[in-house]
Every structure is written in structure tokens, then in C-alpha cells.
Amino acid sequence: MASTSVLLVSLSLILINIITLPLLSTAISSCNGACKTLNDCAGQLICINGKCNDDPDIGSNECGGGGGSSSPPPTTNNCQPSGTLVCQGKSYPKYTCSPPVTSSTKASLTLNDFSEGGDGGGPSYCDEKYHANSERVVALSTGWFDNKSRCGKMISIKASNGKSVTAKVVDECDSRAGCDAEHAGQPPCRNNIVDGSAAVWDALGLNQDLGVVPVTWSMA
């Protein structure tokens, strides 16, 4: 009887280990998938209350609205965080890549002051100059900036209200570094950012107080 009891206990332990083993997986999760850290979630998703969901800070819309028919499958965008940067006790993802550029690339438009002393930090990376808020200029996330290949080029930006504007690429919205004097203390940009001047926001008829709005963009 004793040997039988030991055998049953051993089998029970083996079954428990087999059942719990998948829970230890660190596979990348999609919408509503289980997560514990930011790096557990695919694409623009973040970990909220143990599930991967859209990031309200950047206005991503991979999980909500439209039935998902206009969103590309998660497997088409393999751009994942390359690490994290801790600023003032908060962890931010770092990226060396961005989603593929198309004829209507989804992005988050943010507001930037490219003038001297503005929140853009130093002079623009493309021309080493500052730019007035009246100029229609933008900075692109590191992946889209593509090692200066888009410097001086015009892009077309379209807002959800139907208005569009063209703007010149003059700077990089650094997705790899931040929280220092060079970046005016700002954390790393997400990998889907078009950082526009006040003139860009005005041309699109957008309320600058919003700070971040969803847009689409393409090369002009």
C-alpha cells in the first residue's frame, strides 16, 4: 500500500508540472492576451490589468473599433521593443524600428516646439537649425526617420476630420534614447510618432490641447 501511495503522489506531481508549464511561457501576446510586462505585448499594445490592450497615451487602435478589418494582422509587423529606458522611476520601451510605411500609414501625431528653447531640445537633426512654430515641419520616429534618408522630404498627413497637410521632415523623434538634456528631458518616442509643429496642427484644424491624435501619413 505504501509503494502505491508513493507512486500516486509522484504521478500527481508530474501532472501538476505539465499543467502549469505553459503558464510560464513568455510568448508575445496579441489583443486581450495575458501579460505581465510591456514586452509581453505585440506591436503598439501595452499591458493593462494583466491583458494586452491599446495604449491610451498614443491613441493606438489595434484592438478597438472597426471590427479589425482595417488593421493588419499582428504577424505583418515584427517591430518589437529593443529594450527599456527607466526615467524618473518609469520604464519606457525603446525601438530601432517602426511599422512599414504605406500609402496610408497609421501614426500618432504629437505636438513639438522646434524653436530654440522649445521642447524639442537641440537644433533639428537634419539641418542643425531651429524652426519657427509657423513652419510646417515634423520629426519622425527612429524607424521612419531611417538614418536621415527622409531628411528634407515632404510627407502628407491626414487627420480623421478629413483635412490634410504637407510638411517637411527636419528631425528624428528618437525612439532609442531620451530623458537627457539633448532630448529636453523627454522620454523615448514610441515607434509610430509624427511629431508636428504648431503650424501642422493648425493646418489640420486640430486642438493642440489634445496633445496626441491619430492620423495617417505617406510620402508626398
Q: Please, what is the end-to-end C-alpha distance for the chain in angstroms?
A: 81
Decide if pLDDT at 71 tops 60. no
φ, ψ for residue 119, nearest 5 deg: -80, 5
Task: Judge contact between 138 and 194, C-beta under 8 A.
Answer: yes
Q: Which of 168, 173, 166, 131 is nearest to 153 (CA)?
A: 168
Sign of the torsion angle spanned by Cα atoms 178, 184, 185, 190: negative
> What average pLDDT does range 24-28 have in this prediction?
44
The superfamily in CATH containing domain 95-219 is: RlpA-like domain (2.40.40.10)
Could you give the CA distance from residue 198 to residue 217 in angstroms, rounded to a whole number? 17
User: What mean pLDDT, rounded, does the chain reach?
Assistant: 78
Q: Which three cell numbers stand for residue 45?
A: 499594445
Query: Residue 139 — very low, low, confident or very high, per pLDDT cuts 50/70/90?
Result: very high
**CATH 2.40.40.10-classified regions of the chain:** 95-219
Number of other CB atoms surrounding residue 106 within 10 Å: 19
